[in-house]
Amino acid sequence: MSSATANETAPTPIEAFARVEQAGGPLLPLRKTGLARFAERGFPTTRDEDWRFTSLKPLADLPFLPTLEPSDQAFNQTEINGITFGRHDVDRLVFVDGHHSSDLSLISDQPDGVTVSNLADSLSELKNDISSLSANDENPFIALNDAFFTDGALIRIPSNGRLAKPVHLVFLSTAAGDGQAAHVRNWIDAGDNAQGTLVESHLSLGQAATSTNVVTETRIGAGANLEHIKFQDQSDSTVHLASLHSELSKDARYAFHSLALGSRLSRNNLRMRLAKPGIECVLNGLYMTHSDQLADHHMIVDHAAPRCDSHEYFNGILDNQSRGVFHGRILVQSDAQKTNAKQTNKNLILSDHATANTKPQLEIYADDVRCTHGATVGELDDDAIFYLQTRGLDTKTARRMLMHGFAGEIVDRIQHDGIREELDQLVWNRLEDKHHLD
């Protein structure tokens, strides 16, 4: 246990747990184990290989104040409509500081067997599911989430079913006090041949130094096809810690897109297990950082069965003193013959003080495989800028176009038309107010 208690008066996670214990509930054993596991390990330090480039100081400096009760702040639908993706025709499930808000949510009638709801009301039924995919992970933040999670989304699509509309999960951070920590848990279960599109947004409505710890488990059935877009645009003072554990079945297709734009410190742990043959898994990410932000993506794609394809594409645009961290490991087990795996990480550094750390790794125990990885770090190509200038564009526009194109490589992989277009526009607008264009 290192330094969650920097502030003398704030409770430690162990002290804060008393309230969770009092509340009881069907998952109390899991919560207790989680707390014990966290107490044993404490916060990771940069001496841990998995956290080598990601210092948790911004978090350690904050008191630990889990938002165990819903806040009494009131919002209305109009405010929510104004947020990113707010105007799309979607089913919307809204969580404020880790608590479900039925007033803000908008769920249309779902086809038979489809569940789109919050998870806290179905805990007894989910008792054996929650943590079944994340249990073996050593990450102490999962243990902390086990202990403190309040609510999150429950999405179930039965075999051969599909979601009526894309589902938009909105996680708002509104807490006004520094150190308020929302713990969110999502359970997503797509049956055989199920289909759907899922959007997950993490946004802040304040400037306080809050933190979000979200753990998502997705089970994807045989032949299912799921697109999952995660959009993290919280305020620059927040800490965002996320873990995604997915288990894929035969011939499933799963595309996960991560856009990390906000938070002072953001970390996405992605753990994909390709357990059956014929799977196609795409992890696709864009991080754009400025000031002293740090965006970290840390993934392990475990090829445990033959004939699976996995692709990881991550692009980063790093400005000011910010840092982009990429850790990707493709693990090909000895049975996973005919694996086709590809991993790329490209970084564009815009300032003299930005840092890119990248670790694209391959660990291969099967011989009949085709695995490649590539990583690049660099600045915008002078020749390309010059070319655009000769076509009559000013430097600023030329630079912006090139950066937009670089981000576009990632955004273009999003299949959902409306969401892709909105993100594309958003990236273009973000690039506009950047001083480095000159």
* Sites of contact with other proteins (CB under 8 A): 49, 53, 334, 337, 347, 349-379
Rounded distance, CA 356 to CA 354, Å?
A: 7
Q: In angstroms, what is the minimal distance from the CB of 367 to other proteins?
A: 4
**CA distances in angstroms from 352 to 288, 320, 356, 379, 400, listed in the order given:** 16, 7, 11, 11, 18
Judged by beta carbon, residue 35 or residue 407, the one nearer other proteins is 407
Q: In angstroms, what is the minimal distance from the CB of 166 to other proteins?
A: 36
Contact indicator for 197, 227 with CB cutoff of 8 Å: yes
Nearest to 372 by CA among 420, 310, 417: 310
Judged by beta carbon, residue 25 or residue 365, the one nearer other proteins is 365
Contact indicator for 114, 164 with CB cutoff of 8 Å: yes
Q: In angstroms, what is the minimal distance from the CB of 323 to other proteins?
A: 9
Q: Left (φ > 0), alpha (ψ -120 to 50) or beta: where does 353 sit?
A: alpha
Q: In angstroms, what is the minimal distance from the CB of 145 to other proteins?
A: 28
Judged by beta carbon, residue 225 or residue 358, the one nearer other proteins is 358
Write b or e for each residue in 216-255: b if 16 or more Cβ atoms lie within 10 A of its Cβ, otherwise e: bbbbbbbbbbbbbbbbbbbbbbbbbbbbbbbbbbbbbbbb
Judged by beta carbon, residue 39 or residue 377, the one nearer other proteins is 377
Q: In angstroms, what is the minimal distance from the CB of 340 to other proteins?
A: 11
Q: What is the three-class DSSP state of 346?
A: strand
Tokens of 158: 């039965």
Strands (E), 81-179: 91-96, 99-106, 115-118, 153-157, 167-173
Judged by beta carbon, residue 202 or residue 346, the one nearer other proteins is 346
Whole-number CA gyration radius for the chain: 21
Q: In angstroms, what is the minimal distance from the CB of 164 to other proteins?
A: 43
Judged by beta carbon, residue 122 or residue 337, the one nearer other proteins is 337
